[in-house]
Every structure is written in C-alpha cells, then in structure tokens.
C-alpha cells in the first residue's frame, strides 16, 4: 500500500510517499481502507519531535513510522474477536492512542477506537471530525461544564477546533461569541456565532464584557487577561494556543482555581468511542457541519502540513487518500 513515511523528526521535508506492506488485522483489530484523513497541529508537533511528545512518539526517532491521527474509511476485514464491525462498514476515528497511521491507504486498529461514520457526511468531513470536534466537545462539556444560556467565548473560532467549538456550544444552548480575524467573521456567523469579534480591531479582554466560559483554541492572551474577561464563577479552558500561554495556565491555573471563584486550566484530549458516537448524533441531526478549508491528495501531506503550520487555516485541512489512486 502507499503511505506517508518518516524515519527522523523534522520539517514536512522528512515525510515521503512510499510503498509499504499492507497490514493484517490481529484478533481484536479491524482493517480499514482509509478514504480520507485530516491534518492537525498535533501532527506537526509529533513530526517535529517536540521534547514533550518524544516520550510517546519515540525518544530518538519516530516510533510510529506512518503519521496521522484523524481518519475515515471502510472496514475491509476484521479479526476473529471483533464483534462491533463487519466488512463494508463505514467508520471514522482518531488514531492518537493506537499507533497513528492515518496517512496511508490502510490501517489496523482496535475496534474500540472507531465508530460508524455519520451517514450524511463525506469521508473527508468525517475525518475532519475525528479529533478536532472531540477536543471542542470535551473542552466545552467536560472541562467547561457548559450550560444553556451561558455566555461562551471561543478564541480562535475559525480554525479546526474553534469552528467545531462554535457549533457545539450552540447545540448546548449557549450564546456564543466567536473571536477571529476580519476575513473569517462571515464564516463564524454562518456556523452559528451570535456575536463576532475581530481580533485585529478589538481586544475582547479589554472591552469590559464578561463570559461564563472561555475556550481558548488559538491566539495569545495572558492568563490575567483571560481572568479579567471571566464572569464571577467563570471557567477558562485552554485547548491550544501559544507555548507561554500553556506554561502560564499550568503554573498559575491551579492556584487561581483554588483561591477564587474562577476556574482556569488547560485540557488534554481523551479520544473515546462514546464521544465519536455523540458527535455522530449531532452531525446526523444536521446540528454540526465540518468546515473544510483545503483538500490535498495523499502524496501532498507535506504541503498540507506546511499550510496548517502557517496558523491560518479556515476550518479543517483534509487529505483525500483515495484520490492518490
Ligand atoms: N489539548 C489537546 O488535547 C489538543 C488537541 C488538539 C488540538 N489542540 C490544540 O488546539 C489548538 C487549535 O487547533 P486547531 O486545529 O484549531 O488549529 P488551526 O486550525 O491551525 O487554527 C488556525 C486558526 O487559528 C486562528 N488564529 C490564529 N491566530 C489567532 C489569534 N491571535 N486570535 C484568534 N484566532 C487566531 C486562525 O484564524 P485567522 O486566520 O483569522 O487568524 C485560524 O483560523 C492547537 O494549538 C492544537 O495544538 C490541543
């Protein structure tokens, strides 16, 4: 099969399209023919060999030679102990905790890591959901304790995570403010934001408004700026953003949360089948629609990652694996 392979950490130049052996499923595994994948900032972090990820991804060189986390495809074969899927099922999932490998024509994964693909969306759209939407969901629901009627602000609302966060927050009945740049204001409104703030014109941490929940998906503000923008019992959840923002929230967040009424923390994604099924419900009900920015064939994964690395994707950047054939 064709796959994007790398043997050393570095820029997207270390990635090469190669012919490799097609995997065979173990007893508890499903062999999936991948039709689409999607790229995430996490793929960039792993590929570059950031120190913090090397314990998971290999200390000196990549442990998993085929990168990629978000994928959607069709079950081609199943191991003898697999009970939930059969050949022909259309599935989607996040390979983050099961060896990566989404940038390839086939992958073998435990049946616990995938769910049936929503019937009404394409493979590209399903791949785009597999991790980014789950981050947004867990950030808002599990960490942010989102409630109907709350004022929720999404910073970085136009990217992969943010474009899902806006839509998911609306499904919980929140009043959503999306923060993005000028060119993305119309997109943010079109996916359901009640209010939009152009970060090139206005600093939401300085305008006197307060929010019950702030989800920081991108951009930089200090922790004291975010704290000022929270209402009395407000919650701040950082899913992504700058490194210094992360250090601040890890060092100061627990203290602020312990000593006052405002709660501030970062979050780590916990991929799980239950949340994939939850998102499937929202997608099939038409309450959430993935925003796709660009599409690349499998051989152009390095270009897709270079584009994502510029930091201004509008929604998700997807890989059409089938197109490579
Ligand atoms: N915690 C976890 O477990 C976890 C899991 C997955 C992802 N993440 C993190 O979540 C973050 C977001 O991921 P993503 O997929 O959404 O990234 P992304 O798609 O690359 O984000 C790009 C978006 O960010 C916006 N942006 C850039 N600078 C901004 C600013 N100053 N203010 C507001 N928006 C700004 C851009 O809009 P403009 O073009 O308008 O500037 C663009 O639409 C990343 O840091 C990623 O590593 C964390």
HEC string of the chain equals CEEEECCCCCCHHHCEEEECCCCCCCCCEEEEEEEEEECCHHHHHHHHCCHHHHHHHCCCCCCCCCCCCEEEEEEEEECCCCCCCCCCCEEEEECCCCCCCCCECEEEEEHHHEEECCCCCCHHHHHHHCCHHHHHHHHHHHHCCCCCCCEEEEECCCCHHHHHHHHHHHHCCCEEEEEECHHHHHHHHHCCCCEEEECCCCCCCCCCCCEEEEEECCCCCCHHHHHHHEEEEEEEEECCCCHHHHHHHHHHHHHHHHHCCCEEEECCCCCCHHHHHHHHHHHHCCCCCCCEEEEEEHHHHHHHHHHHHCCCCCCEEEEECHHHC
C-beta of residue 316 within 8 angstroms of C-beta of residue 128: yes
| Alpha carbon distance, N-terminus to C-terminus of the chain | 10
Query: For the stretch 152-174, what's the b/e string if a residue is b when 16 or more beta carbons lie within 10 angstroms of its beta carbon?
Result: bbbbbbbbbbbbbbbbbbbbbeb
Q: Is the pTM of this model over 0.85?
A: yes
Chain mean pLDDT for the chain: 96
- The CA 210 to ligand 1 mean position distance, Å, reads 22
Question: Does the pLDDT at position 219 exceed 90?
Answer: no
Residue minimizing CA distance to atom 9 of ligand 1: 240
From 96, 156, 177, 317, the mutation candidate for ligand 1 (largest count of ligand atoms within 8 A of CB) is 156
Pocket of ligand 1 (CB under 6 A): 40-42, 132, 135, 155-156, 158-162, 179-181, 184, 199, 217-219, 239-241, 267-269, 308, 311-314
Across the strands, what pairs with 151?
A: 175
Indicate the Cα dihedral angle 312, 316, 317, 319, nearest 10°: 170
- The CA 39 to ligand 1 mean position distance, Å, reads 12
Q: Which residue has the tokens 């049936």?
A: 116
- The CA 220 to ligand 1 mean position distance, Å, reads 10
Q: What is the pLDDT of residues 178-206, one digit of tens each?
A: 999 999 999 999 999 999 999 999 999 99
Residue minimizing CA distance to atom 39 of ligand 1: 312
Give the separation between CA 66 and CA 63, rounded to whole angstroms.
9
Q: What is the pLDDT of residues 44-88, one digit of tens each?
A: 999 999 988 898 899 999 999 999 999 999 999 999 999 999 999
52 φ, ψ (degrees, to nearest 5): -65, -25
Residue minimizing CA distance to atom 40 of ligand 1: 181
From 128, 133, 240, 246, the mutation candidate for ligand 1 (largest count of ligand atoms within 8 A of CB) is 240
Question: Does the pLDDT at position 115 exceed 60?
Answer: yes
Q: What is the pLDDT of residues 268-318, one digit of tens each?
A: 999 999 999 999 999 999 999 999 999 999 999 999 999 999 999 999 999
Q: What percent of the chain has pLDDT over 70?
A: 99
270: Cβ contacts below 8 Å, ≥ 6 apart: 138
Give the separation between CA 154 and CA 193, rounded to whole angstroms.
9
260: Cβ contacts below 8 Å, ≥ 6 apart: none
From 38, 39, 41, 42, the mutation candidate for ligand 1 (largest count of ligand atoms within 8 A of CB) is 41
Tell me what the mean pLDDT of segment 113-118 comes to: 97
Residue minimizing CA distance to atom 31 of ligand 1: 219
- The CA 317 to ligand 1 mean position distance, Å, reads 12
Could you tell me which of 124, 191, 128, 207 has the C-alpha nearest to residue 157? 191
The predicted pLDDT at position 222 comes to: 95
Give the separation between CA 138 and CA 146, rounded to whole angstroms.
10
- The CA 312 to ligand 1 mean position distance, Å, reads 8
325: pLDDT confidence band, cut at 50, 70 and 90?
A: very low
36: pLDDT confidence band, cut at 50, 70 and 90?
A: very high
Task: Strand 195-198: give its sheet, edge to edge.
Answer: 195-198, 175-180, 151-155, 211-216, 230-238, 263-266
Give the separation between CA 245 and CA 225, rounded to whole angstroms.
11
Give the separation between CA 32 and CA 133, rounded to whole angstroms.
21
Give the separation between CA 198 and CA 12, rounded to whole angstroms.
31
243: pLDDT confidence band, cut at 50, 70 and 90?
A: confident
The predicted pLDDT at position 242 comes to: 85
Q: For residue 45, give the ligand 1 atom closest to its CA.
A: 47
């Amino acid at each position: 099969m064709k796959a994007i392979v790398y043997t050393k950490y570095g820029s997207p130049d270390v990635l090469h399209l190669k012919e490799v052996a097609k995997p065979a499923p173990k007893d508890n595994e499903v062999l999936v023919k991948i039709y689409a994948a999607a790229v995430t900032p996490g793929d960039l972090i792993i590929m570059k060999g950031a120190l913090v990820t090397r314990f998971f991804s290999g200390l000196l060189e990549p442990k998993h030679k085929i990168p990629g986390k978000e994928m959607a495809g069709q079950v081609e074969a199943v191991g003898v102990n697999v009970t939930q899927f059969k050949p022909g099922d259309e599935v989607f999932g996040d390979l983050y905790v099961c060896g990566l490998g989404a940038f390839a024509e086939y992958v073998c994964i435990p049946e616990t890591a995938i769910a049936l693909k929503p019937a009404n969306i394409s493979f590209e759209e399903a791949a785009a959901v597999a991790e980014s939407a789950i981050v947004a969901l867990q950030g808002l629901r599990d960490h942010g304790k989102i409630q109907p009627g709350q004022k929720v602000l999404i910073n970085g609302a136009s990217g992969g995570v943010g474009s899902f966060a806006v839509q998911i927050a609306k499904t919980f009945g929140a009043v959503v403010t999306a923060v993005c740049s000028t060119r993305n204001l119309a997109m943010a409104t079109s996916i359901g934001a009640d209010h939009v703030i152009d970060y090139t014109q206005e600093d939401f941490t300085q305008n006197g408004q307060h929010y019950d929940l702030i989800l920081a998906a991108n951009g930089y503000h200090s922790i004291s700026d975010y704290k000022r923008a929270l209402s009395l019992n407000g919650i701040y959840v950082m899913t992504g953003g700058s490194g210094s923002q992360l250090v601040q929230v890890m060092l100061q967040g627990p203290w602020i949360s312990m000593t006052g009424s405002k709660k501030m923390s970062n979050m780590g994604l916990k991929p799980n089948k239950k949340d994939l099924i939850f998102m499937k419900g929202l997608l099939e009900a038409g309450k959430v629609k993935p925003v796709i920015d660009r599409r690349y064939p499998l051989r152009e994964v390095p270009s897709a990652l270079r584009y994502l690395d510029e930091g201004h994707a509008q929604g998700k950047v997807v890989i059409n694996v089938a197109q490579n054939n």
